[in-house]
């Protein structure tokens, strides 16, 4: 995606620290709740999953769609957000 | 499938075998990797099948079940016909957005799912053969399944992905689903899958038929596409069968089906996007219009196209089949393209209509201009010929009744005719003279010339010249002839020497020219005056704006200088080696780029002047630096102790679990160390403190009361909130913050029955 949302920019701008999973770009209330129910209560845990999948955005997108019922756009946005965060801070 | 019982290590190694480097297989990543493995397997199978298919010259076993499908379809779909119509009413609004999204998804998945459909299709074809014996049972089951998964939002993407996986599952409905998670996730697609046999409309049926009947290498494709559910028909039936909310999905399927039906799977997906839209439209039309009677005709129309291609298709499943198949899809594509062309033609008339409109407006404009021009000319001409013409019309004359009485009619007539001709002649003379005609150097005619002229006109005039002249003199009104003589005014006929016309009649061209010139000159004058005024105004505005800009730049520069000096001053405080002043040229050079220095010179000078005059914190002095004299600025550190504003100055320690309780116990907070009662001066410092607290907790709307205990030695402030939760929030905001140079910590948990007031 060439244009990024404010949420994306906010997330990628600083270390995620203890941010909740809803701070991720593309993850709203509903999806966040679903992820939390599965144990992904913080953005860092989702980052963990992303890293487990070897930072492959495609696989991560697939996983996210499975796990939370996100659509392509939301999952892609989240993956992109995490990828950029990793590029900046990891 | 065996993959469901695969172990982690096996999964890992299999993925590596396909050249993919997976991460660790954990409970979370397992399903993802399973999917990936399945994809690899299908790709492999599809490749094998391709090779096999090519070997057999285009006809494989796949088309046969397709044919069976055809027959079964035709029997099985009829009952669902009506229901498929009903469900579309809610689609229309969803039609557009999913279309775009589907196209997007579609192109996105080009790379990934390049060769999948055929592989899936083969399985699907076999599947369909199995499932058809009980078409009615399936929709019912699908219904049940579908309603169970209503909560899943936007599962369409998911179902797209999972269809390949669900298909084998679907085929063996009796067999239990291998992994519960898969089932839970994939049942959406399964439901759609199952719903496919349920009733679409006849045209969609024929679409499906045609699609399926495209045999040969396209057969599996078509089936695969159809089975993926990207058809006009299956989505429709599915939605009807399930009463699904995801109508958009159906529309999306519609698009993709249309493209699928075109049978161009072999080609890269991207170009398919193009026929996507035109394809979608007829499909869409069919959908949207399905409930109305007349559009039935359109569906019938589309239907007509298909049977034509159905016949050749079953006919040749060998090498001939690709040809009609090609023709078929191409014709189908061209049909919607015709629609498109038709629409363009209709729009094409629009532009031509607009052309004529353009010409029309131009024509009207020119007509109006011509009209006004003619009007003006006419007016001028009228003005030119002011005198009444005609010989027998000299009834009115300005001489009064005496004239009538003195002469009889014939004489009167002669006299009047004489006067008229004299008047005309003089007018012509004067007019020509005014026009600059060289034939008449004098505006007025001498008496002799007048007599000559009049006698030349009519011999009868001779005797009456004097009489008429006398009458002219006698009359008080203006007859258009001015008589001038040696002394003015002329009182006697004998004194007349010159006759001149007061109403000169100029030739038309001359008149027009003069009018035009006068008008133009007046207009030019007005324009010039207006232009001068406007340019003056513009100039003044420009100057004013420039002034403002310069002032703004100057203030900006002043601020920057102050910042630099302040930071330098603070650095000096920490580092005693630095001089506490800065030379002015150094400051300038550090602030301004070399290329800007000349431009900003005036601004800089103004800033310097401003600083020396108005800024009390900076002192200008002369210092010797390394032997050279410089004008320097010294930053004078203001004392902060006299700053009475109560400010928050940041947090002393981060709020974490160690030094803050997890939640507040009571709705009341006590804040210590906010102030020193002995040191506070002024009347309203407690109000200032209250305001500061409110500001800090600006997002907290649950603060009921703040009370500053003026007498407490500890500097306590009591805050009462609406609830424990609110007080917890306030606690988090305030705890550990520096305020006015004091760190204050809070104590919670104190319960007051009565707040000290």
A62 to B185: CB separation less than 8 angstroms, yes or no: no
Shared domain for B626 and B558, answered yes or no, is: yes
Would you list the DSSP string of B148-191?
HTTT-TTHHHHHHHHHHHHHHHHHTSSSPPS-HHHHHHHHHHHH
Classify residue B480: in a domain, yes or no.
yes
With H, G, I as helix, E, B as strand and everything else as coil, classify residue B286: helix
pLDDT per position as a tens digit, B122-168: 444 444 444 444 444 444 444 444 444 444 444 444 444 444 444 44
A67 to B28: CB separation less than 8 angstroms, yes or no: yes
When pLDDT is cut at 50, 70 and 90, the band that residue B316 belongs to is very low
Nearest chain B residue to A72 by CA distance is B157
- Tell me which of B182 and A25 has the higher pLDDT: A25
Shared domain for B571 and B592, answered yes or no, is: yes
Per-residue confidence (pLDDT) for residue B502, from 0 to 100: 76
Angle at B490 between CA B487 and CA B491, to 5 degrees: 125
User: What does the alpha-carbon distance between residue B450 and residue B461 come to, in Å, rounded to a whole number?
Assistant: 11
Shared domain for B478 and B563, answered yes or no, is: no
Per-residue confidence (pLDDT) for residue B630, from 0 to 100: 82
Shared domain for B520 and B496, answered yes or no, is: no
What's the CATH code of the domain at B674? 3.30.70.330
B359-368, B465-474, B627-636: segment of lowest average pLDDT? B465-474
Torsional sign, CA A63, A67, A71, A74: negative
Count of domains for chain B: 4
User: What does the alpha-carbon distance between residue B463 and residue B465 come to, in Å, rounded to a whole number?
Assistant: 6
For B374-387, what is the mean pLDDT? Answer: 77
- Name chain A contacts of B245, Cβ cutoff 8 Å: none
B29 to A62: CB separation less than 8 angstroms, yes or no: no
Share of chain B above pLDDT 70, in %: 46
CB neighbour list of residue B554: distance below 8 Å, 6 or more residues apart: B603, B606, B607, B610
- Name chain A contacts of B252, Cβ cutoff 8 Å: none
Any CB–CB contact under 8 A between B190 and chain A?
no
Any CB–CB contact under 8 A between B10 and chain A?
no
- Tell me which of B691 and A2 has the higher pLDDT: B691
Residue with tokens 């105004």: B537
A71 to B156: CB separation less than 8 angstroms, yes or no: yes
User: What does the alpha-carbon distance between residue B680 and residue B422 come to, in Å, rounded to a whole number?
Assistant: 113
Given a cut of 70, is residue B530 above it in pLDDT?
yes
Encode B169-198: b = buried (16+ Cβ within 10 Å), e = exposed.
Answer: bbbebeeebbbeebeebbbbbbbbbbbbbb
Classify residue B236: in a domain, yes or no.
no
Q: List helix spans (H) across B311-408.
A: 312-315, 322-384, 401-406
Classify residue B708: in a domain, yes or no.
yes
B32 to A70: CB separation less than 8 angstroms, yes or no: no
- Name chain A contacts of B161, Cβ cutoff 8 Å: 62, 65
Shared domain for B454 and B538, answered yes or no, is: no
For residue B110, which of B267, B262, B258, B217 has the smallest C-alpha distance?
A: B267
For B28-32, what is the mean pLDDT? Answer: 84
What's the CATH code of the domain at B593? 1.10.10.1180
- Name chain A contacts of B156, Cβ cutoff 8 Å: 71
Shared domain for B520 and B491, answered yes or no, is: no
- Compute φ and ψ for B746, nearest 5 degrees: -115, 155
Q: How far is A33 from chain B (nearest CA, A)?
A: 13
Given a cut of 80, is residue B649 above it in pLDDT?
no
Indicate the pairing of strand B737-739 with strand B746-748: unpaired
Three-state SS sequence of B223-256: HHHHHCCCCCHHHHHHHHHHCCCCHHHHHHHHHH
Helix axes of B322-384 and B295-310: crossing angle, nearest 10 degrees? 140
* Window 10-29 of A, Cβ < 8 Å to B: none
Shared domain for B664 and B736, answered yes or no, is: yes
Preferred mutation among B26, B32, B158, B732 to probe A, highest tally of A CBs within 10 A: B32
Shared domain for B609 and B655, answered yes or no, is: no
Beta strands in B34-186 (DSSP E): none
When pLDDT is cut at 50, 70 and 90, the band that residue B592 belongs to is confident
Per-residue confidence (pLDDT) for residue B286, from 0 to 100: 46
Whole-model pTM: value is 0.28
Q: How far is B723 from chain A (nearest CA, A)?
A: 24
Per-residue confidence (pLDDT) for residue B395, from 0 to 100: 53
Per-residue confidence (pLDDT) for residue B132, from 0 to 100: 43
pLDDT per position as a tens digit, B666-705: 778 888 877 777 766 666 777 888 888 888 777 667 788 8
The mean of the pLDDT values for chain A is 91
Any CB–CB contact under 8 A between A72 and chain B?
yes
With H, G, I as helix, E, B as strand and everything else as coil, classify residue B367: helix
Classify residue B365: in a domain, yes or no.
no
Shared domain for B459 and B536, answered yes or no, is: no
- Name chain A contacts of B107, Cβ cutoff 8 Å: none
Which top CATH class is A6-89?
Answer: mainly alpha
When pLDDT is cut at 50, 70 and 90, the band that residue B531 belongs to is very high
- Name chain B contacts of A51, Cβ cutoff 8 Å: 23
Which range of B448-457, B529-538, B701-710 scores highest in mean pLDDT? It is B529-538
Shared domain for B630 and B729, answered yes or no, is: no
A71 to B154: CB separation less than 8 angstroms, yes or no: yes
Per-residue confidence (pLDDT) for residue B488, from 0 to 100: 60
User: What does the alpha-carbon distance between residue B166 and residue B187 come to, in Å, rounded to a whole number?
Assistant: 7
User: What does the alpha-carbon distance between residue B137 and residue B229 come to, in Å, rounded to a whole number?
Assistant: 19
Q: How far is B578 from chain A (nearest CA, A)?
A: 35
Given a cut of 70, is residue B598 above it in pLDDT?
yes
Per domain, the residue ranges of chain A are 6-89
Classify residue B742: in a domain, yes or no.
yes
Any CB–CB contact under 8 A between A44 and chain B?
no
When pLDDT is cut at 50, 70 and 90, the band that residue B665 belongs to is low
When pLDDT is cut at 50, 70 and 90, the band that residue B519 belongs to is very high
Nearest chain A residue to B152 by CA distance is A69
Per-residue confidence (pLDDT) for residue A85, from 0 to 100: 94
Any CB–CB contact under 8 A between B248 and chain A?
no
B364-373, B415-424, B641-650: segment of lowest average pLDDT? B641-650
Shared domain for B666 and B558, answered yes or no, is: no
A69 to B22: CB separation less than 8 angstroms, yes or no: no
How is chain A split among helix, strand and coil, in percent rounded to 5? Answer: 65, 0, 30
Residues paired with B483 in a beta bridge: B499
For B544-558, what is the mean pLDDT? Answer: 92
Per-residue confidence (pLDDT) for residue B525, from 0 to 100: 97
For B172-178, what is the mean pLDDT? Answer: 45
* Closest Cβ–Cβ partner in A49, A52, A69 for B158: A69
Given a cut of 50, is residue B616 above it in pLDDT?
yes
Q: The domain containing residue B521 runs over which residues?
A: 516-635
* Closest Cβ–Cβ partner in B105, B153, B156 for A30: B153
For B19-43, what is the mean pLDDT? Answer: 85
For B558-565, what is the mean pLDDT? Answer: 88
For B423-437, what is the mean pLDDT? Answer: 79
Any CB–CB contact under 8 A between A86 and chain B?
no
B23 to A53: CB separation less than 8 angstroms, yes or no: yes
- Name chain B contacts of A30, Cβ cutoff 8 Å: 153
- Name chain A contacts of B152, Cβ cutoff 8 Å: 69
Any CB–CB contact under 8 A between A5 and chain B?
no
Per-residue confidence (pLDDT) for residue A22, from 0 to 100: 92
Per-residue confidence (pLDDT) for residue B216, from 0 to 100: 43
For A79-88, what is the mean pLDDT? Answer: 93
Given a cut of 80, is residue B45 above it in pLDDT?
yes
Any CB–CB contact under 8 A between B98 and chain A?
no
Shared domain for B590 and B491, answered yes or no, is: no
pLDDT per position as a tens digit, B60-78: 444 444 444 444 444 444 4
Q: End-to-end CA distance of chain B: give it in Å, rounded.
A: 77
For B246-275, what is the mean pLDDT? Answer: 44
Domain-ending residue, one of B602, B635, B668 = B635
């Amino acid at each position: 995606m060439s244009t990024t949302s404010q949420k994306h920019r906010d997330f990628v701008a600083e270390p995620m620290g203890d941010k909740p999973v809803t701070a991720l770009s593309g993850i709203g209330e509903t999806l966040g709740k679903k992820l939390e129910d599965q144990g992904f209560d913080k953005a860092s845990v989702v980052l963990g999953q992303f890293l487990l999948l070897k930072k492959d955005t495609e696989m991560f997108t697939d996983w996210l769609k499975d796990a939370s019922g996100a659509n392509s756009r939301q999952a892609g946005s989240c993956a992109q957000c995490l990828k950029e965060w990793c590029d900046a801070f990891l | 499938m065996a993959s469901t019982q695969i172990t982690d290590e096996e999964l890992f190694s299999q993925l590596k075998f396909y050249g993919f480097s997976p991460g660790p297989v954990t409970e979370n990543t397992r399903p993802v990797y399973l999917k990936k493995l399945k994809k690899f397997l299908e790709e492999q199978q599809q490749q094998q099948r391709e090779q096999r298919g090519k070997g057999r010259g285009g006809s494989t076993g796949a088309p046969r079940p397709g044919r069976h499908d055809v027959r079964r379809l035709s029997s099985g779909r009829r009952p669902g016909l009506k229901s498929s119509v009903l469900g579309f009413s809610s689609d229309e609004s969803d039609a557009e957005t999913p279309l775009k999204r589907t196209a997007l998804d579609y192109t996105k998945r080009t790379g990934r799912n390049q060769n999948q459909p055929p592989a899936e299709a083969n399985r699907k074809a076999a599947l369909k053969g199995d499932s058809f014996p009980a078409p009615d049972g399936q929709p019912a089951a699908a219904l049940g399944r579908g309603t169970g998964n209503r909560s899943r939002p936007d599962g369409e993407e998911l179902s797209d992905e999972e269809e390949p996986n669900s298909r084998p599952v679907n085929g063996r409905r009796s067999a239990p689903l291998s992994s519960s998670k898969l089932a839970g996730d994939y049942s959406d697609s399964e439901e759609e899958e199952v719903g496919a046999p349920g009733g679409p409309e006849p045209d969609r049926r024929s679409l499906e038929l045609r699609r399926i009947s495209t045999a040969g290498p396209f057969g599996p494709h078509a089936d695969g596409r159809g089975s993926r559910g990207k058809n006009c028909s299956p989505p429709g039936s599915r939605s009807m069968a399930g009463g699904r909310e995801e109508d958009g999905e159906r529309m999306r399927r519609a698009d993709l089906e249309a493209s699928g039906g075109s049978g161009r799977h072999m080609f890269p997906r991207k170009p398919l996007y193009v026929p996507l839209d035109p394809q979608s439209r007829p499909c869409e039309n069919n959908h949207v219009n399905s409930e109305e009677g007349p559009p039935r005709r359109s569906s019938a129309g589309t239907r007509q196209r298909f049977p034509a291609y159905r016949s050749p298709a079953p006919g040749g499943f060998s090498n001939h089949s690709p040809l009609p198949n090609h023709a078929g899809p191409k014709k189908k594509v061209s049909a919607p393209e015709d629609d498109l062309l038709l629409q363009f033609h209709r729009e094409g008339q629009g532009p031509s209509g607009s052309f004529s409109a353009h010409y029309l407006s131009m024509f009207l404009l020119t007509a109006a201009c011509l009209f006004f021009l003619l009007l003006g000319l006419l007016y001028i001409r009228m003005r030119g010929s002011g005198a009444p013409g005609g010989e027998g019309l000299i009834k009115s004359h300005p001489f009064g009744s005496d004239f009538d009485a003195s002469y009889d009619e014939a004489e009167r007539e002669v006299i009047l005719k004489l006067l008229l001709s004299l008047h005309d002649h003089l007018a012509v003379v004067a007019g020509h003279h005014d026009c600059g005609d060289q034939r008449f150097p004098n505006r007025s005619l001498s008496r002799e010339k007048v007599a000559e002229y009049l006698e030349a006109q009519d011999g009868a005039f001779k005797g009456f010249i004097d009489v008429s002249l006398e009458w002219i003199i006698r009359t008080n009104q203006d007859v258009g002839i001015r008589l001038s003589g040696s002394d003015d005014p002329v009182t006697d006929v004998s004194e007349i020497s010159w006759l001149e016309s007061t109403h000169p009649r100029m030739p038309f061209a001359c008149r027009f020219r003069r009018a035009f010139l006068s008008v133009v000159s007046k207009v030019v004058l007005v324009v010039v005056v207006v232009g001068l005024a406007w340019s003056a105004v513009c100039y003044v505005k420009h100057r004013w704006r420039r002034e403002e800009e310069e002032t703004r730049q100057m203030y900006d520069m002043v601020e920057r200088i102050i910042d630099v000096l302040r930071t330098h001053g603070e650095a000096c405080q920490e580092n005693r080696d630095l001089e506490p002043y800065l030379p002015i040229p150094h400051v300038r050079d550090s602030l301004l780029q070399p290329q800007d220095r000349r431009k900003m010179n005036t601004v800089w000078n103004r800033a310097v002047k401003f600083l020396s005059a108005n800024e009390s914190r900076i002192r200008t002095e002369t210092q010797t630096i390394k032997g050279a004299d410089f004008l320097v600025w010294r930053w004078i550190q203001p004392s902060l102790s006299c700053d009475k504003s109560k400010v928050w100055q940041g947090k002393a320690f981060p709020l974490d679990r160690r030094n803050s309780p997890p939640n507040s116990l009571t709705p009341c907070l006590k804040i210590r160390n906010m102030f020193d009662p002995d040191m506070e001066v002024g009347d309203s410092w407690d109000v200032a403190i209250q305001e500061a607290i409110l500001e800090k907790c600006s997002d907290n709307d649950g603060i009921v009361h703040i009370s500053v205990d003026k007498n407490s030695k500890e500097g306590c402030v009591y805050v009462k909130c609406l609830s424990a939760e609110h007080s917890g929030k306030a606690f988090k905001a305030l705890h550990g913050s520096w305020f006015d140079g004091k760190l204050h910590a809070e104590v919670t948990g104190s319960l007051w029955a009565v707040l000290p007031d």
